[in-house]
Amino acid sequence: MMFLLPNSTDGAWVSDAEPLEWEEWSPCMEGIIPVIYYSVLLGLGLPINILTAIALSRLAARTKKSSYWYLLALTASDILTQVIIVFMGFILQMAILAHKVPHAFLHTVNVLQFAANHASIWVTVLLTADRYVALCHPLRYRMLSYPERTRKIIAAVFGTALATGIPFYWWLDIWHDSQPPTTVDKVLKWVHCFTMYFIPCSIFLATNSVIVCKLKCGNRVDGHHRRVGKTIAMLMAVTAIFTVLWAPRTFVILFHIYMGSTNKNRRLHVALNLANMIAMLNTTVNFFFYCFVSKTFRRTAGQVIRSCSPFCKPTNRGFLHSALKPLGLLENVSL
């Protein structure tokens, strides 16, 4: 049996004659629990995200609202994350192929993984900014926000995410890091932590704080205003869940920079494994927030399920109502 050392510069294969010490004390690395967890996460999360994408695409086509496109892009990035990171990175590479893949393939997957992560988080930032402008600057929002412009912005974000993922081709694998991090590795890890966590979370905190203050200063207390409060609560929940679920991975990476080589640090290996599992949970939770907030989304998702079911006949009931009453969390709001 042969193993590939991801940190090797020549991509050489290593045989069983040269055993890897960390494998003797880190069974969690490729144990049965992570494989089961990621398999369940992919088996449940991928269909849920596909259902969400179809429902949001229908709502976006009916209402022509820009914010639907941001949610659709967020769902698409979650699907990419599940396919590239959960399936290709954890299940295929670790469990099925057991690292028997070329050196270049590993680093190419690294680029795609970081690109998917960057797209997901920065689309969330765009969604937060969109809601901020809609609530705090409604007149400007009506002039600046329209589907064609939104689609161009989203395309630019995905293109930028792919470009910013390229430097991570040289990302050193923490699992097999037998030497202290190099200067390039430290720079990449600090850039990753800032672009994926600290900067986005700072934007979430700033914009959500301004939105809350704006709502508290409002004088209206009607049903429309209450729906706005529920909408902002949902938006804050989405950003808060991201902040909580990605915090362990971020701080484990920073601890790795502080500690240097972690090849023989069993606790850090286990901590990183758990942190990755927790972070990937973020790709499946948004659907439940949408269902909790919006009857229209629940109705549209139900229509998608019924249209795909061989036991249900297609029906147009509720189509006009759904078209005239857009998803509550995406309303244009004038304060």
Give the phi and the psi of residue 15 in degrees, each rounded to 5: -95, 175
The whole-angstrom separation of Cα 215 and Cα 335 is 8
Q: Are 328 and 294 in contact (CB under 8 A)?
A: yes
Identify the pLDDT of residue 265: 66
Identify the pLDDT of residue 242: 92
Identify the pLDDT of residue 21: 43
Q: Are 207 and 235 in contact (CB under 8 A)?
A: no
For residue 213, what are its two tokens? 């203050």
- Cα 219 versus chain centre, distance: 36
Q: Which residues of the chain have pLDDT under 70?
A: 1-31, 98-100, 173-180, 218-231, 260-265, 309-335
Residue type, 84: I
Give the Cβ contact number of residue 194 at 10 Å: 13
Identify the pLDDT of residue 157: 95
Identify the pLDDT of residue 148: 86
Q: 117 by DSSP, 3-state: which?
A: helix
Please provide the distance, in angstroms rounded to a whole number, between the alpha carbons at the two ends of the chain: 66
Torsion-angle region of 143 (φ positive above 0: left; ψ -120 to 50: alpha; else: beta): alpha
Give the Cβ contact number of residue 86 at 10 Å: 23
Identify the pLDDT of residue 214: 79
Nearest Cα to Cα of residue 22 among 251, 248, 270: 270
Identify the pLDDT of residue 320: 41
Give the phi and the psi of residue 7 in degrees, each rounded to 5: -90, -5
Residues 6+ positions from 334 with CB-CB distance below 8 Å: 138
Answer positive or negative: Cα dihedral of 181, 184, 188, 191.
positive
The whole-angstrom separation of Cα 266 and Cα 156 is 41
Is the full-model pTM beyond 0.85? no
Q: Are 90 and 38 in contact (CB under 8 A)?
A: yes
The whole-angstrom separation of Cα 299 and Cα 291 is 9
Identify the pLDDT of residue 27: 43
Identify the pLDDT of residue 298: 87
